């Protein structure tokens, strides 16, 4: 009976013996999404709870060692291994734990979209202090590339004190290469009254590699060239510079209901003698029911030659509540 069911649909056998039949849509960051005809909502299942997989759909499969292949997935008897059946009788054998990403090649547009928005608002009676924080992002994942947009705004107002405002936005593109290498390009925009920045526009291009890439975490290093254009609000003449950059990104997304993201990028200038900048970010997110979450974090920017003396460092601490798609 099980073999007949497996022949008609995608199937997952869980470590407790349960069988889920339907359409496997994707697996990313340790969670597999399955649509079934008997439920209006998709099932989300931890990949670590899956013992066997049988698919009639063709998937893009990414492995922890950086290999990629398109094909059907069939577990061997007992679930010890998984065979990927590709075109022209290609075969690759692996294990479930080494599969870090699955995406159905015929999956629809919306199944490839991810989005989130969170906001925080605080008041203090003393001096009528008010602070508003908004974080939002939207991204699209294709077979070999991904595109992400983000927007962050922090505004503080206080009696008898000039309002401070910081807006950070950007778009990034990443293209996958063999053996977990990738090409990366991005454009970011920062406006920050604390550092008298009317607008800092940065275009970056480079390459990187995933040093660690599993279905519970990844750690990537990258480097390249950055083009920096700055205008200021305090009468300082605008600046243009070419910078090198090197960075690290760490994402731990399977710590129970917690996930942690950390990045640090260093930008030594190639055209301004002795100048260098650093961007640091750390976010901690706790998942709640119905796709809600709470998040706290720190964003820090350092510039050893800012437009305003004494404002080398600017940072934002936030605590927000949000929802993700």
Convert the pLDDT of each residue in 292-308 to its tens digit.
999 999 999 999 988 77
Determine the average pLDDT of the residues in 97-105: 87
* Residue 299 contacts residue 277 (beta carbons within 8 Å): no
Instruction: Please tell me the distance from the alpha carbon of residue 304 to that of residue 127, in angstroms, as a whole number.
Output: 32
86 and 165 together in one domain:
no
Q: What pLDDT is recorded for position 104?
A: 80
Radius of gyration, CA atoms only, the chain:
23
Residue 25 CA, distance from chain mean position? 19
172 and 268 together in one domain:
yes
207 and 231 together in one domain:
yes
Most confident stretch, 62-71, 76-85, 216-225 = 216-225
Residues counted in the chain: 325
How many structural domains is the chain composed of? 2
Give the pair of three-digit tokens for residue 171.
Answer: 């778009």
Distances (CA, A) of 246 to 169, 263, 277, 284: 20, 11, 11, 23
Is the model's pLDDT at 127 over the cut of 70? no
How big, in percent rounded to 5, are the helix, strand and coil portions of the chain? 10, 70, 20
Determine the average pLDDT of the residues in 119-135: 77
Q: What pLDDT is recorded for position 225?
A: 98
70 and 151 together in one domain:
no
Instruction: Please tell me the distance from the alpha carbon of residue 103 to that of residue 24, in angstroms, as a whole number.
Output: 9
Is residue 317 very low, low, confident or very high in pLDDT (cuts 50, 70, 90)?
confident
Determine the average pLDDT of the residues in 113-137: 82
Range scoring the smallest mean pLDDT among 108-117, 123-132, 158-167, 175-184: 123-132
239 and 268 together in one domain:
yes
70 and 118 together in one domain:
no
Range scoring the smallest mean pLDDT among 8-12, 92-96, 123-127, 265-269: 123-127
Determine the average pLDDT of the residues in 187-199: 89
Question: Residue 7 gets which letter from DSSP?
Answer: H
206 and 134 together in one domain:
yes
Is residue 8 very low, low, confident or very high in pLDDT (cuts 50, 70, 90)?
low
State the CATH number of the domain containing residue 42: 2.30.30
Enclosing H/E stretch for 285:
strand 276-287
Is residue 4 very low, low, confident or very high in pLDDT (cuts 50, 70, 90)?
very low
Residue found under tokens 């997989």? 53
Q: Find the domain containing 140 and state its range.
A: 113-324
What DSSP line would sit under 63-78, residue for residue? ETTS-EEEEEEEEPGG
Distances (CA, A) of 30 to 101, 199, 214, 216, 299: 8, 38, 8, 5, 26
* Residue 230 contacts residue 189 (beta carbons within 8 Å): no
Q: What pLDDT is recorded for position 69?
A: 87
Q: What pLDDT is recorded for position 6?
A: 43
Q: What pLDDT is recorded for position 142?
A: 80
267 and 239 together in one domain:
yes
Q: Of 48, 50, 63, which Cα lies nearest the Cα of 24?
A: 50
Instruction: Please tell me the distance from the alpha carbon of residue 11 to that of residue 5, in angstroms, as a whole number.
Output: 8
187 and 313 together in one domain:
yes
Is residue 125 very low, low, confident or very high in pLDDT (cuts 50, 70, 90)?
low
200 and 67 together in one domain:
no
Is the model's pLDDT at 261 over the cut of 90? yes
Q: What pLDDT is recorded for position 5?
A: 43
Is residue 204 very low, low, confident or very high in pLDDT (cuts 50, 70, 90)?
very high
Average confidence score pLDDT of the chain: 88
79 and 123 together in one domain:
no
* Residue 105 contacts residue 143 (beta carbons within 8 Å): yes
């Amino acid at each position: 009976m099980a073999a007949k069911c497996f022949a008609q649909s995608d199937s997952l056998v869980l470590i407790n013996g349960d069988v889920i039949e339907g359409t496997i849509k994707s697996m990313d960051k340790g969670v597999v999404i399955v649509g079934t005809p008997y439920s209006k909502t998709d099932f989300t299942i931890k990949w670590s709870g899956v013992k066997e997989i049988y698919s009639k759909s063709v998937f893009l499969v990414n492995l922890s060692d950086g290999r990629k292949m398109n094909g059907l997935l069939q577990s061997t008897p007992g679930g010890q291994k998984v065979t990927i059946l590709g075109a022209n009788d290609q075969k690759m054998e692996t294990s479930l734990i080494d599969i870090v990403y699955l995406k159905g090649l015929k999956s629809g547009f919306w199944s490839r979209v991810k989005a989130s928005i969170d906001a925080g608002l605080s008041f203090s009676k003393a001096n009528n202090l008010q602070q508003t924080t908004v974080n939002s992002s939207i991204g699209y994942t294709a077979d070999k590339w991904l595109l992400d947009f983000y927007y962050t705004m922090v505004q503080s107002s206080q009696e008898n004190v000039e309002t401070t405002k910081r807006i950070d936005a950007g778009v990034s593109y990443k293209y996958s290469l063999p053996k977990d290498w990738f090409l990366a390009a991005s454009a970011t925009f920062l406006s920050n009254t604390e550092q008298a920045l009317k607008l800092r526009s940065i275009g970056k291009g480079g390459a990187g590699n995933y040093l660690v890439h599993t279905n519970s975490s990844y750690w990537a290093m990258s480097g390249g060239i950055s083009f920096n254009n700055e205008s200021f609000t305090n009468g300082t003449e605008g600046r243009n510079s070419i910078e090198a950059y090197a960075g690290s990104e760490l994402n731990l997304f399977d710590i129970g209901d917690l996930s942690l993201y950390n990045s640090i990028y260093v930008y030594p200038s190639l055209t301004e003698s002795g100048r260098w900048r650093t961007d640091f970010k750390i976010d901690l997110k706790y998942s709640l029911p119905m796709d809600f979450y709470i998040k706290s974090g720190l964003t820090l920017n350092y510039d050893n030659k800012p437009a305003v003396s004494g404002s080398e460092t600017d940072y934002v601490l936030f605590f927000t509540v949000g929802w993700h798609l």
